[in-house]
Structure 1
């Protein structure tokens, strides 16, 4: 068959010389998706849809990508790569989501078996791609399938570094594997592949996107800042590309940038849903939760609370969203504001059943419900949730991410119960154990399991352990840079310790965060006074 201008060029090392590549820009109904070069053996009629689908896939626009790949399949029913790429739209590795039956169904028109499907590829390189994707959706444990895909894509990319799509998907494969085995294990290799793509095609949507994910941790975030600044420019019509830069902005505490990114992303999500006549369940509540978190860091509590009403209205008028609920917005607001009573939201779980009923509840929901019970003074309910949490902890692998989450949750709730009972030393001991676990972590995004170091530091101040409190807040600020509540705690600890210069520095940094804060927010007076050269302040 004649190869099109988008022929899958650059064969494996043993397959002969490379075929010249032509640049194809992803445009169309969702233009502004970046520049993708993916030579292949498909018919010319299938190329625009196929390239558009790949561009959407790199920006995690899974629904639009699937539509584009199906259009490419219709234009060229024998175009094997289109089916394999459609299957990838049913796996969202960095979101912890996979619809394996849907992925296999997408592959079924191509052939009844993996061998039959791979045999339909028209070039050695396309057969290699097919083998990698077939391995991802074969039988077996998810971690083994993810490793097989990542290893296969690495081999394809290593055979020809000029094949930028292979490098891009190798980076994605490694990040997906990292989500299974630990991000730090695969991040350096993912960065290497993605940087190769970015250096040769700085308009590639996947390169900047995957580099942001790879650098999304407190230690390396500054290295991701150039890519965060570029990604929204590369793919301005991809809603996720508008949100993703805020992963880096949040890590460095650039709250104005976090707000700007997510206001744009949320508006784009609303427009996209309206344009496609979709219900509210598909809206990007992820961006909305990040926007609320940034508002809270800025002291904009009215704006943050208003988003609860926004979510309530949207969620009430359509099907439920599987990833987010009204509780997520309420808990984030209440834990930052201390207002646990003025807004009424249904609790996400019931703990009146047998202890093993807790197996059905997500870990964050259990911890949040326990923290809410403590904050409302309901020690009996908190104790029931603690029992469920301990039972779940007993089944977790020691040292694993989930086990650490259980340990932090137990520390938060047990410490809170001890505090309610007046056992200050007991509460300090629980919080201290949880804080040590938290300090070893590498958080990304707004915390779904509340920080332990924050209540630990505040409790240390209350017990006049000021040096220890300073250390607790400093540890939290290493994990969450420029975090407003931690800055407030640090300033208070320094002040109580008798270090007014250090207190003033913390207050001034916080005041910069709060330059748009609600004028009547009570701690604002304290912060303004502490940031000035005036010697006296009032601690609330």
Structure 2
């Protein structure tokens, strides 16, 4: 296996220029296609892992082709396309270079391609199908072509499923083809049930990938996709070893630096999440500088969201605020159609206010001014209006709370009207926000039972809804808020059940542990209260947290020496 370093690309390009007897004719069908071209924008020393997957293209292009595959596996889609185009320019008769560009446009695990991208992908594959190729290359071309065929009339879900079926057939036909197995697992992830919690596809994909990892320990795609498939409370423990290895496999990828934190976050391992995202944010800023971007590369914002979340769970408001300060004046982002670029701008200020129960601040949050229309992002905007609704209810500004709930309802309708399967989790999450906001508005307005009923309905929806892969977690889990409400109703035993249930899926959450400590204390179980207060102190022991809950924990432990 060859280490995919930047020097390999340079050597590959030198080999292109040395082929004096080979002057490939450009394919005239590609003249109208707006390919991404130019020098690859890579930071660090260019290490993206080890793999070999050239499928009979010219020898001189193989280093670049494998680098393109590695970039594709680390979701650096723009750079992957540019690398595939370099192969295509040097070897216009290489079918897999066409395949690679089409795969870079599909970006299976993320947002669906735009109409412009679907047109582009279709043109590329139409040209590819006219080339001479062997049976295996034809199978790969036909597999991705199944996603693009009749895109004008067939919905994304159906086309993604067609691609999955084709990749399954390739995996079955060529059982020793490592890349076939990997891309099949990616296809399974792309067609997973995005709302439910049985994780059928994720389990199947994870099993395939784990079977490959021992013999391919430095393959970036295997490690990356294991983490994605196990990024949920049920399976996260299976991905911990991989998470601790992935960043070392592809250290030059900002996404690879960040991805381990998905597992760390699911397991409540905050310090490792912080270190992972500090590296990712730094790498992203390097990319922004190299590319001379007008604004920030989205990976920096994504990493910052996870950083703020982790710092807040340690009670470290100071560092959480410092991270937010680095992005809160940004107006432009690249690329603009990545939801991870916009999400943190709504989520982070909401988290800072809500996690600290600063209701006045939450009620008066303002959306960050950006060079885009927030109306294009109803899911992200909903987080902002949820925070305002919650804050307004808590300070008993019921008129404002009603207004914010109406905005939430409209945003929910906008999402439903888009009829986009990939946004099914977003729809459910806004539904939870509406129920939760209504619950607290009624509760604070004196309608206690109605508030409790609505809060329980929100929890029921939350129990059936999986986490969105973009977010480190809900800005406030519904079941944690149910615990808060039960405490106020002087039902500490029931509240403790809710908090403990919450901690099973949101381990080491600051407010969850504190709530459980208070509920145990009010239930008369001082031993259990001490356990939770000690957990809170351990959680915040590495920073100078100013949160009052820490002082309360210290006073309790000193006064009740029961542990």
1:162 is paired with a residue whose SS is coil
Contact 2:258 2:276 in 1 (8 A): yes
Runs of 5+ consecutive residues of structure 2 not aligned to the other structure: 8-41
Separation in 2 of the partners of 1:164 and 1:81? 16
Separation in 2 of the partners of 1:320 and 1:44? 33
Which residue pairs with 2:350 in the alignment?
Answer: 331
Contact 2:67 2:83 in 1 (8 A): yes
Which residue pairs with 1:216 in the alignment?
Answer: 231
Which stretch shifts more, 487-496 or 174-183?
Answer: 174-183
Contact 1:364 1:449 in 2 (8 A): no
1:533 to partner: Cα distance: 6.2
1:514 to partner: Cα distance: 0.7
| Aligned with 2:169 (options 151, 155, 166) | 155
Which residue pairs with 1:19 in the alignment?
Answer: none
Separation in 2 of the partners of 1:345 and 1:44? 58
| Aligned with 2:523 (options 473, 497, 501) | 497
| 1:382 has 2:401 as partner | yes
Contact 1:91 1:99 in 2 (8 A): no
Contact 2:436 2:454 in 1 (8 A): yes
Which stretch shifts more, 478-487 or 175-184?
Answer: 175-184
1:106 to partner: Cα distance: 4.8
| 1:50 has 2:70 as partner | no
Which residue pairs with 1:436 in the alignment?
Answer: 460
1:80 to partner: Cα distance: 1.6
Separation in 2 of the partners of 1:310 and 1:367? 20
- 1:334-353 maps to which residues of 2 (within 5 A)? 334-341=353-360, 345-347=365-367
2:55 is paired with a residue whose SS is coil
Q: 1:64 to 1:456 in 2, by over 3 A?
A: same
Q: 1:93 to 1:179 in 2, by over 3 A?
A: farther
Which stretch shifts more, 47-56 or 368-377?
Answer: 368-377
| Aligned with 1:302 (options 288, 313, 318) | 318
Give the TM-score taking structure 1 as reference length: 0.86
| Aligned with 2:485 (options 459, 476, 495) | 459
1:249 to partner: Cα distance: 0.7
Q: CA RMSD in A?
A: 2.9
| Aligned with 2:253 (options 207, 226, 238) | 238
| Aligned with 2:279 (options 264, 279, 296) | 264
Which stretch shifts more, 334-343 or 515-524?
Answer: 334-343
1:450 to partner: Cα distance: 3.2
Separation in 1 of the partners of 2:398 and 2:195? 37
Which stretch shifts more, 213-222 or 23-32?
Answer: 23-32
Contact 1:454 1:486 in 2 (8 A): yes
Contact 1:24 1:36 in 2 (8 A): yes
Q: 1:256 to 1:210 in 2, by over 3 A?
A: same
Separation in 2 of the partners of 1:405 and 1:280? 29
Which residue pairs with 2:389 in the alignment?
Answer: 373
Contact 2:297 2:333 in 1 (8 A): no
Q: 1:335 to 1:379 in 2, by over 3 A?
A: same
Contact 1:466 1:496 in 2 (8 A): yes
Which residue pairs with 1:25 in the alignment?
Answer: 3
1:119 to partner: Cα distance: 3.8
Separation in 2 of the partners of 1:92 and 1:504? 48
Separation in 1 of the partners of 2:186 and 2:86? 24
Q: 1:75 to 1:48 in 2, by over 3 A?
A: same
- 1:3-402 maps to which residues of 2 (within 5 A)? 23-28=1-6, 30=42, 31-106=46-121, 108=123, 110=124, 113=126, 117-138=128-149, 139=151, 140-178=154-192, 184-284=199-299, 285-313=301-329, 315-316=330-331, 321-322=336-337, 323-324=341-342, 326-341=345-360, 345-347=365-367, 362-376=378-392, 377=395, 378-390=397-409, 401-402=425-426
Which residue pairs with 2:534 in the alignment?
Answer: 508
1:180 to partner: Cα distance: 5.6
Separation in 2 of the partners of 1:308 and 1:427? 33
Separation in 2 of the partners of 1:465 and 1:185? 37
1:188 to partner: Cα distance: 2.1
Contact 1:368 1:449 in 2 (8 A): no
Q: 1:413 to 1:134 in 2, by over 3 A?
A: same
Contact 1:198 1:208 in 2 (8 A): yes
1:281 to partner: Cα distance: 3.4
Deviations along 1:35-62, whole A, 9 cap, x unmatched?
A: 1121312112221221111001101111
Runs of 5+ consecutive residues of structure 1 not aligned to the other structure: 1-22, 350-357
